[in-house]
Chains A and B, each alone.
Chain A
Amino acid sequence: MGPSDVVIPVYPVAGAPSNGMTVADALIQELAAALVTYLRTQRSHVIDLTCMPLSGEDKERLDAYLGLGETSMDIHALLRTRIEETRYAGVWRVRHYGPDDTVQSERIEVIDVPEIARASTADIGRSAQRLAAVKGEEGVWQTKP
């Protein structure tokens, strides 16, 4: 038997919560309230799951509750970021991955579009300059007399 065959259980075997309420249930309640708040005030909400002590069961429950929606996006910047809309419009899962594909940050965002997906004004400004430089080099758009 190799070391990988030794399974160390994370929680006591006979330790289900007595009232049937899990952390996942609590998070769903928080998200429901956050959606209502967003509709009224446009105030976004973030739940950071990275350091939350979720059990495997909690994670499965949360995944089952939220499901997968219509939209997903990948960002390749300093890190790799995967954005997935859940089956509830306005509730997004945003995961940042390190170079070795480990999750470095995992959060649920309640907003129309996660901020990181938007192109920032500063970046658009630099794009305009760069594109103008390309135009200048190639002379494509220069109007002829």
Chain B
Amino acid sequence: MADETIAEVLEKRGFTRRAFLQLCATVTAALALSPADAAEMTRRLQSAPRPTVIYLSYQECTGCLESLTRSFSPGLASLIFNDISLAFNDTLQAAAGEAAESAKDTAMKKAWGKYLLIVDGSVPLPQNGAYCTVAGRSAISDLKHAAGGAAAVVAVGTCAAFGGLPYASPNPTGAVPVSDIVRDRPVINVSGCPPIAEVITGVIMYYTTFGLPALDRLRRPTNFYGNSIHDRCYRRPFYDRGLFAKTFDDEGARQGWCLFELGCKGPVTHNACPTMKWNGGTSFPIESGHPCLGCSEPGFWDKGGFYRPLSVPTGHWSRAGVIGGAAAAGAVTGLAVAAVARSRQDRAQKNRQSGTDKKNPKP
């Protein structure tokens, strides 16, 4: 049972090898693997045992799970996630109370040391973790225990990856990201509010076949978070030519010009939205006419306003400077914007962390 492969799971459900190849083709497409790597993934998946996934939720809104289960191809995502790999999830399972808790213990014991632990939500530290408890147990002790038997931990969503909304200033519960607690296991951050469903399943499949993916400095898989939204944005040519929408209903907005001046955080945000898109490849926020909120970056809630433009380093934050600079030297300015914004974020983060270190963080 434990050594059952994904191909065997499909066979048991009456599917042929073709179904397995369809699954591989769609997953490798989502991962944007090279043809050689895609062939290798298919080869390895034939013999790889199906992964055991334990999914735990703490300070979160269940939006990440919604993203996953309401994704455009429920058949595929749920097949990979629910049917093939998921051993425990307290939101999706029918069991409740003690039955649910014992199901969790059983699932963990069965695959102790081997399972992939997915954590959704941040974890509060003060008062011995009293601000978030599940079945009378604090999130922090629950997580420490679960991580002890995990081969790796995937922090799904910006709350688990970077603290997210609970972590936003003034962080009343003293919430921290998963990586602050789990220090002796590999942690993969799959950030986003929520993350793209195919990114979550893609990371599980990648881990099953190749092990840990390459990660960026924020521990996000570079397959999906290697490029900024701005770099891959179809509206980028307008930015380079200095053509900006100034309001949501002006001529520029109608013409589909760049949303930089309406507060787009695309230049400092790394995610796969422009290429993978949402809702079955229908569109992504910028394509729908709304600036990127930067939801896959640390502290996105505290960047001074979703509709306030990123600043360029003119020394003074004049609007004219922003427009002129962007129009004159789009690409170069873009880099500078990213650098400045990043240093501002770093500073904001330091302030916040020093705040949470105090015993009673003041609002």
- B236 to chain A minimum Cβ distance, whole angstroms, is 10
- A83 to chain B minimum Cβ distance, whole angstroms, is 11
**Is B128 part of the binding interface, using a Cβ–Cβ cutoff of 8 Å?**
no
Contacts of A102 in B (CB 8 A): 72-73, 280-281
Which A44-71 residues have a C-beta within 8 angstroms of B?
45-48, 50-51, 53
Contact with A along B20-36 (1 / 0, CB 8 A): 01110110111011010
Contact with A along B152-177 (1 / 0, CB 8 A): 00000000000000000000000000
Contacts of A107 in B (CB 8 A): 25, 29
Give the docked Cα–Cα distance between A96 and B281 (Å).
14
B276 x A78 contact (CB < 8 A): no
B73 x A100 contact (CB < 8 A): yes
**Is B238 part of the binding interface, using a Cβ–Cβ cutoff of 8 Å?**
yes
**Chain B interface extent, by class:** 35 or more
Contacts of A99 in B (CB 8 A): 73-75
Contacts of B10 in A (CB 8 A): 78
**Is A98 part of the binding interface, using a Cβ–Cβ cutoff of 8 Å?**
yes
Which A107-129 residues have a C-beta within 8 angstroms of B?
107, 115-116, 119-120, 122-123, 126
**Is A79 part of the binding interface, using a Cβ–Cβ cutoff of 8 Å?**
yes
Which B10-48 residues have a C-beta within 8 angstroms of A?
10-11, 15-19, 21-23, 25-26, 28-30, 32-33, 35, 38-39
Which B48-77 residues have a C-beta within 8 angstroms of A?
72-76
B73 x A53 contact (CB < 8 A): no
Query: Which B residue sits closest to A6, measured CB to CB?
Result: B254
Stretch at the interface among A9-17, A20-28, A84-92, A136-144: A9-17
A104 x B275 contact (CB < 8 A): no
Give the docked Cα–Cα distance between A136 and B28 (Å).
42
Q: Given A78-B15, A78-B19, A98-B280, are A15 and B74 neighbors across the interface (CB < 8 Å)?
A: no
- A107 to chain B minimum Cβ distance, whole angstroms, is 7
B38 x A46 contact (CB < 8 A): yes
A100 x B29 contact (CB < 8 A): no
A8 x B17 contact (CB < 8 A): no
**Is B107 part of the binding interface, using a Cβ–Cβ cutoff of 8 Å?**
no
B15 x A96 contact (CB < 8 A): no
Which B262-312 residues have a C-beta within 8 angstroms of A?
275-276, 280-281, 287, 289
Which B195-237 residues have a C-beta within 8 angstroms of A?
232, 234, 237
Contacts of A122 in B (CB 8 A): 11, 17
Query: Which B residue sits closest to A115, measured CB to CB?
Result: B21
- A116 to chain B minimum Cβ distance, whole angstroms, is 5
Contacts of B256 in A (CB 8 A): 8-10
Contacts of A9 in B (CB 8 A): 255-256
Contacts of A51 in B (CB 8 A): 29-30, 32, 275-276
Identify whether the interface residues of B are mostly helix, strand, loop, or mixed: helix
B29 x A123 contact (CB < 8 A): no
**Is B246 part of the binding interface, using a Cβ–Cβ cutoff of 8 Å?**
no
Give the docked Cα–Cα distance between A78 and B254 (Å).
41
- A91 to chain B minimum Cβ distance, whole angstroms, is 15
Q: Given A46-B38, A48-B29, are A120 and B16 neighbors across the interface (CB < 8 Å)?
A: yes
**Is B79 part of the binding interface, using a Cβ–Cβ cutoff of 8 Å?**
yes
B237 x A105 contact (CB < 8 A): no
A98 x B76 contact (CB < 8 A): yes
- A80 to chain B minimum Cβ distance, whole angstroms, is 9
Contacts of B76 in A (CB 8 A): 78-79, 98, 104
Query: Which A residue sits closest to B10, measured CB to CB?
Result: A78
Q: Given A46-B38, A47-B35, are A77 and B15 neighbors across the interface (CB < 8 Å)?
A: yes
**Is A75 part of the binding interface, using a Cβ–Cβ cutoff of 8 Å?**
yes
Contacts of B232 in A (CB 8 A): 53
B73 x A104 contact (CB < 8 A): yes
Give the docked Cα–Cα distance between A9 and B33 (Å).
29
- B53 to chain A minimum Cβ distance, whole angstroms, is 20
Give the docked Cα–Cα distance between A79 and B29 (Å).
15
Which A1-45 residues have a C-beta within 8 angstroms of B?
6, 8-12, 15, 45
Partner of B16, one of A10, A15, A104, A123: A123
Contacts of A103 in B (CB 8 A): 281
Contacts of A11 in B (CB 8 A): 234, 237
Give the docked Cα–Cα distance between A11 and B28 (Å).
28
A79 x B26 contact (CB < 8 A): yes
Q: Given A8-B289, A12-B241, are A105 and B280 neighbors across the interface (CB < 8 Å)?
A: no
Can you list 9 A-B contacts with CB-CB less than 8 angstroms, sorted by A residue number?
A12-B237, A46-B38, A46-B39, A51-B275, A77-B18, A77-B19, A98-B76, A116-B18, A116-B21
Q: Interface residues, chain A, CB within 8 Å of chain B?
A: 6, 8-12, 15, 45-48, 50-51, 53, 75, 77-79, 81, 94, 96, 98-100, 102-107, 115-116, 119-120, 122-123, 126
